[in-house]
Amino acid sequence: MNRRFVLRRVAEQEFEHSIAWYENQRKSLGQKFRSTIEDYFQQIADHPEWFTKVRGEVRRAVVRRFPFVIHFLVEKEGIVILSVFHTSRDPEQLKYRR
């Protein structure tokens, strides 16, 4: 089943900041990052059950090409992306996101 998804404001900010950071590192790398993450968003929307629950109903997708994880919830209305999170950051920052 294909579900729609929305990004929480903080997740959108993390995503946009990361795109800009990668683009500053090397031309077109930011766009490759964007494309990779958007592919994951589509996989999550199509098959959220493929991804492991990590805290309550929060699920996590581990991004292979970049050191990021995507945390999300499956709700009646669709998928809610809680974070696009670099793995070097303190995971305690995610504790209260919902």
| Residue 88 pLDDT greater than 60, yes or no | yes
| Residue 93 pLDDT greater than 80, yes or no | no
For position 5, what pLDDT does the model report?
A: 87
State residue 58 phi and psi, 5-degree precision.
Answer: -75, 130
Domain residues of the chain, as ranges? 5-94
pTM for the whole structure: 0.86
State residue 61 phi and psi, 5-degree precision.
Answer: -110, 125
How far apart, in whole angstroms, are the C-alpha atoms of residue 48 and residue 14? 21
Token duo for residue 77: 């209305």
- State the DSSP code for 68: E
| Residue 13 pLDDT greater than 70, yes or no | yes
The answer as to CATH 3.30.2310.20 being correct for domain 5-94 is yes
pLDDT in tens, 29-83: 999 999 999 999 999 999 999 999 998 999 999 999 999 999 999 998 899 999 9
Contact 94, 85 (CB under 8 A): yes
Confidence band, pLDDT 50/70/90 cuts, at residue 11: very high
Q: Which residue has the higher pLDDT, 97 or 25?
A: 25
Which alpha helices (H) appear in 4-66, and where do they start and end? 9-25, 29-46
Contact 33, 21 (CB under 8 A): no
